[in-house]
Amino acid sequence: MTVVDRNKIDIIYVEEDKVFLCISDHLSWDNDNLTTHWEILQDKIKDYMGFIKSGQFREKYPDEKMKPCIKIYFSNEWPDVVEKYLHKLKQLHEEYGCELTWVHDPR
């Protein structure tokens, strides 16, 4: 599964007191696809937040010590404008007790 597969969590792993809900993003950030790519990514993040806010996350991980974290694995480097929006989203998600992080992983 990848960023284009809606309503599905691509990868889940647990590390210490965090549950990482991972998004695998292989799409290009070229100028022709920038807006479409961003919309697809936003929709996927909204799906993950729906999983968390609906209570499904706590049903699966009832231990209150377990913190949800959304981690995005980008195959392609992102432009500065995307970095700016990601930081805004990160702040918003922290208000909901969810960490948002991202990495460039060309594999």
Domain that holds residue 86: 11-104
- Distance separating alpha carbons of residues 28 and 64, to the nearest angstrom: 37
Contacts of 98 (CB under 8 A, 6+ apart): 49, 52, 67, 68, 69, 70
* Percent of the chain residues past pLDDT 70, beyond the cut: 100
The SS3 call for residue 73 is strand
β-strands 99-104, 67-74 pairing: parallel
Residue 87 confidence class, pLDDT cut points 50, 70, 90:
very high
On whether residue 70 sits in a domain, the answer given is: yes
What is the distance of C-alpha 103 from the center of its chain? 11
Query: What is the pLDDT, as a whole number, of residue 78?
Result: 92
CA angle (103 as vertex; 99, 106 as ends), nearest 5? 150
Per-residue pLDDT tens digits for 29-64: 988 889 999 999 999 999 999 999 999 999 999 999
Phi–psi pair at 10, nearest 5 degrees = -65, -50
On whether residue 35 sits in a domain, the answer given is: yes
Q: How many domains does the chain have?
A: 1
On whether residue 6 sits in a domain, the answer given is: no
On whether residue 20 sits in a domain, the answer given is: yes
